Amino acid sequence: MPPSVLDTTYDALRGLADYASGILQPSVRVGVTGLARSGKTVFTTALVRHLVEGTPLTAFRASAEGRIRRARLSPQPDDAVPRFPYEAHLKALEERRLWPGSTTQISELRVDIEYERPSGRWRGGASTLSVDIVDYPGEWLLDLALLDAGFAEWSRATVAASRAPERAALAAPWHARLAGLDPLGEPDEVAIGEASEAFKAYLAALRAGPEAVATTPPGRFLMPGDLAGSPALTFAPLDLKDGEEIRPGSLAALMERRFEAYKTHVVRPFFRDHFQRIDRQIVLVDVLAAVDAGPAALAELEAALDRVLMAFRAGRNTILSSLFSPRADRVLFAATKADHVHHTSHARLEALLRLLVNRAVKRTEAAGAKVGVVALASVRATRETTVRDGLQTLRTVAGTPEAGERVGDEIFDGETEAAIFPGDLPERAGAIFEGAVTPGSFRFPRFRPPRLVADAGGRRPALPHIRLDRAVEFLIGDRLQ
């Protein structure tokens, strides 16, 4: 659905205000997103920790060259957006060795970086860059596709997808409820509520099942926040026949009205107030979980990522585009949890991610944006070692699996360290799609965060990581020149 004149005017005024503010105080808005359990909260926490603590970061040029004077947390510019709870997440990581909870709402944090420009530049000297980090669930991006869809179209596509063999069992309870609804009959609030709850249970089952990466909009249904119970979040697809007209006053008409309300009150404000204003974007992807689940899960992840990335407004910015149609001019795709495999598999992990996002990379580059791909661990929970298995030496990773994690017949207590051979990713990324790897043949238990031992002065060491510095350099390094 095209934007209204009012929306266009609002966007232009917002763009003008942001542009003028950027002249007075240089800033960059970095969006952090990814599908469920991809490590968004951990990435943001670790990134801020390294910046404000002044950790030497080798691949981050301004840091490696000693040009960063200091970085500090500052009040965020958007008073209506929740603050990212950095301090609570850091305490969980460092003191309790617990991973922070998943991202369920949008949040923001500002870090002011005071730095010296490289010597010899015509505008050398001290300067400050404000980095606004915007953390939001990737599932919300899937909702942007709804803006161009009607209720009937969305219903038919969603119901058809739920009847696929790999989803039919998960959708059975919802299908049973769906079969008892007459789209052209009178609306019934009780029946609507039950249908909506059954549909939400299906969405939750998709996330929890073998296709944990699968996501079907509406994304806010599983993260309702203060909209829980509102009519805008109380609807569901209906089994509409091809060509069937929606009669005024019918059940389908009321569902359609609420579908449109969802777009008006949830999707459009997110796009207008947050997503459209992102300058740089990192997309975190848990590739290893999909690899372990098999080719079907990988294919689902590829399709989900493609839908997510179709929503990006990426490309090279001009003064006019900055005012009327701001674009993300850098997008970084990151395969997380690289510490779960030996470093000899890191290049293969990166190659697999490149394969998964190949279509999106081509689109983004064609629009003029710079695109990067990296395998990283925002917080490294393991170290590498070797284990003898008869005459064979296995390259393993050692760490503390969380309580209840299982590898083979062993169930861990959350305190005992173990060396685990995760398996080797295939040399050719496409081989996984072709069934070269048996689902479940890898060992990727969830490890606890590392134990950080303070020195004699009571100072904790820096959070260990893998290539987080490369990610920081890609996202903001050019803005510190």
What is the per-residue pLDDT across 310-364, written as a single tens digit (0 to 9) for each?
A: 777 776 655 554 444 567 899 999 999 999 999 999 999 999 999 999 988 888 8
Q: What is the 3-state secondary structure (H, E, C) of the chain?
A: CCCCHHHHHHHHHHHHHHHHHHHHCCEEEEEEEECCCCCHHHHHHHHHHHHHHCCCCCCCHHHHCCCEEEEEEECCCCCCCCECCHHHHHHHHHCCCCCCCCCCCCEEEEEEEEEECCCCCCCCCEEEEEEEEEECCCHHHHHHHHHHCCHHHHHHHHHHHHCCHHHHHHHHHHHHHHHCCCCCCCCCHHHHHHHHHHHHHHHHHHHHCCCCCCCCCCHHHHCCHHHCCCHHHCCCCCCCCCCCCCCCCCHHHHHHHHHHHHHHHHHHHHHHHCHHHCCEEEEEECHHHHHHHCHHHHHHHHHHHHHHHHCCCECCCCHHHHHHCCCECEEEEEECCHHHCCHHHHHHHHHHHHHHCHHHHHHHHHCCCEEEEEECECCCCCEEEEEEECCEEEEEEEECECCCCEECCEECCCCCCEEECCCCCCCCHHHCCCCCCCCCCCCCCCECCCCCCCCCCCCCCCCCCECHHHHHHHHHHHHHC
The residue behind tokens 């005017």 is: 9
* Residue 2 confidence class, pLDDT cut points 50, 70, 90: very low
* Residue 439 confidence class, pLDDT cut points 50, 70, 90: confident
**Percent residues over pLDDT 70 in the chain:** 90
Q: How confident is the prediction for the chain on average, in pLDDT?
A: 88
| Distances in whole angstroms, Cα of residue 321 to Cα of each of 12, 19, 82, 141, 145 | 10, 11, 28, 21, 22
155 token code pair: 């219903």
* Residue 273 confidence class, pLDDT cut points 50, 70, 90: confident
Check residue 1 and give its pLDDT.
42
For residue 218, is the peptide bond before it cis, meaning its omega torsion is within 30 degrees of 0? yes
* Residue 425 confidence class, pLDDT cut points 50, 70, 90: very high
The answer to whether the CB of 118 falls within 8 A of the CB of 468 is: no
What is the per-residue pLDDT across 225-255, written as a single tens digit (0 to 9) for each?
A: 778 899 999 999 999 998 888 999 999 999 9
Against a cut of 0.75, is the pTM above it?
yes
d(CA 195, CA 121): 63
Burial environment of residue 186 by CB neighbours within 10 A (0 to 12, 13 to 18, 19 or more): exposed
- Residues in a beta bridge with 371: 331
- Residues in a beta bridge with 406: 411
Average pLDDT rounded to a whole number, residues 44-68: 97
pLDDT at 279 over 90: yes
What is the per-residue pLDDT across 94-146, written as a single tens digit (0 to 9) for each?
A: 999 999 988 888 999 999 999 999 876 566 689 999 999 999 888 788 888 89
The answer to whether the CB of 97 falls within 8 A of the CB of 451 is: yes
* Residue 367 confidence class, pLDDT cut points 50, 70, 90: confident
d(CA 363, CA 52): 35
User: Which residues in 435-446 are b (16+ Cβ under 10 Å) and which e?
Assistant: eebeeeebbbbb
Highest mean pLDDT among 264-268, 426-430, 475-479: 475-479
Does the domain at 5-136+274-380+467-480 match CATH 3.40.50.300? Answer given as: yes
d(CA 154, CA 174): 16
What is the per-residue pLDDT across 449-468, written as a single tens digit (0 to 9) for each?
A: 999 988 888 888 999 999 99
* Alpha carbon of residue 63 to chain centroid: 26
Check residue 17 and give its pLDDT.
54
Count other C-beta atoms under 10 Å from residue 390's C-beta.
6
Domain borders along the chain are 5-136+274-380+467-480, 142-269
Among residues 46, 25, 35, the alpha carbon closest in space to that of 376 is found at 46
Average pLDDT rounded to a whole number, residues 49-60: 96
Pairing of β 68-74 and β 107-116: antiparallel
* Residue 214 confidence class, pLDDT cut points 50, 70, 90: low
**Percent residues over pLDDT 90 in the chain:** 62
The residue behind tokens 């079969």 is: 179
- Selected residue with higher pLDDT from 23 and 243: 243
d(CA 92, CA 95): 6
